[in-house]
Structure 1
Amino acid sequence: MTTSLFRIEHIKSDDTGEIQTVDAYGHANETLEGIIRTQPHGFTSNPPVGSHGIGLALRGIRTLAVALGLEHPDKRIKNLKPGQTAVYDDQGNSSQYLGTDGIKHDSGQNPHQIKGKTLVLAATGGSASLQGGDGEKTYIGGDGKTGTYAAVMTEDGPSQIVFARIS
């Protein structure tokens, strides 16, 4: 009995069960349905249609295939240095772990939320900054819609764009 590896193209997935399954194109005119997609512990994704990966036919039986990988060539973050890691989605959101270059979180034009019972931002030997959009107001302590806010005092007087919640 042999095991064979072959290239697959993702066409559909089912992420509702305990194990994600995918439908994929295999060899010419071959469609594989309901094959198991393996994923590492602590990380899960649902690849966009058109992603490519490796099919593994256990004992050479195509109906016992599993999908390995599945990465969309147009969505993949490129040019990482050895040892660097990126987690990303199909909308351009990413968290990149760049070794000595630090950590970069990017939500592009999408909302970015960080939640927790307590949040601590600490600069250990530099400065910390909070930036709103170009000339847009930045609110500290709330969403800027509920509660009462006051302009933050600066060396030059009250800020025109930074406000802190006071109630």
Structure 2
Amino acid sequence: MLHELNRLGRRILLLMARGAIALVDDTKGVQTLQVRLNALELIPDVPRYAEYGFTSNPPEGTQALIAFKNGDRNDGFVIATSNAKYRMKPLATGEVAIHDSRGQSVYLTEAGIVVDGGGNPITFTNTPEVIADTPLLKCKGDILDNYETNTRTVAGMRQVANSHTHPILNIQTGGSNISTQTPTQQE
């Protein structure tokens, strides 16, 4: 009886483990990890399950929490990962963020949504249109539309529009040409 209780106790102790990710295989339907639990124990091909719609490829050294069915070290699965080096902080209660190791993030703050490209471009693809249903759209930088064929920015077009003139035709001035003055309304 004591032997059976000891065996049960050992299995309970082996139900969960924490380790560091050594390698990620992201080529299969379910991502698998190689996780180092200690200096002597390296568990290969541990499946990692994630919430639908969310996926990541955690960098080497990321902490992993593994559950083992019946305490069997050959039958485990990763239920959570965490990397303190890249964790965004401090979030206020109720805030949410997705982020990576390169400083890119989408942060749902108390004051609104903040998208940080981490110094990289942000690209929208495969969409027939982008709708901004807002009373005011602000841009700190310049805007270039039809960028593949157009080299003039909106500010450049405004400069041309604000300084252009039109000839006035059919004026009896003794044969000279007269142009309008530049627009008085500059914006």
Task: Note whether the superposition's TM-score is higher than 0.5.
Answer: yes
Unaligned runs of at least 5 residues, structure 1:
133-137, 159-167
Alpha-carbon shift at residue 119 of structure 1 (Å): 0.8
Relative to the length of structure 1, the TM-score reads 0.79
- Tell me, yes or no, if the aligned pair for 2:35 and 2:64 is still in contact at 8 Å: no
For the pair 1:8 / 2:19, whether they are aligned, the reply is yes
> Which structure 1 residue ranges, 4+ long, deviate > 4 Å from structure 2?
none
**For residue 165 of structure 1, what is the aligned residue in structure 2?**
none
Which deviations, in whole Å up to 9, do the C-alpha atoms of 1:1-58 show, x marking residues without a partner?
6451111111101111110000011134210000010100111111011100211111
Larger Rg: 2
Aligned partner letter, 1:16: T
Q: Equivalent residues in 2 for 1:56-71 (5 A)?
A: 56-71=67-82
Alpha-carbon shift at residue 148 of structure 1 (Å): 5.5
Alpha-carbon shift at residue 74 of structure 1 (Å): 0.7
Given candidates 45, 51, 55, the residue that maps to 2:62 is 51
- Tell me, yes or no, if the aligned pair for 1:57 and 1:66 is still in contact at 8 Å: yes
Q: Distance in 1 between matches of 2:90 and 2:49?
A: 25
Q: Partner of 2:158: helix, strand, or coil?
A: strand
- Tell me, yes or no, if the aligned pair for 2:48 and 2:77 is still in contact at 8 Å: yes
Unaligned runs of at least 5 residues, structure 2:
1-7, 164-187
| Aligned residue-pair number | 148
Sequence identity, in percent? Answer: 24
Q: Distance in 1 between matches of 2:123 and 2:82?
A: 26
Q: What is the Cα-based RMSD across aligned positions, in Å?
A: 2.1
Give the structure with the higher percent strand. 1
- Tell me, yes or no, if the aligned pair for 1:122 and 1:128 is still in contact at 8 Å: no
Give the structure with the higher percent helix. 2
Change (3 A) 1:140 1:120: farther
Structure ranking higher on relative contact order (CA contacts 8 Å, 6+ apart):
1
**For residue 157 of structure 1, what is the aligned residue in structure 2?**
162
Q: Distance in 2 between matches of 1:52 and 1:42?
A: 22
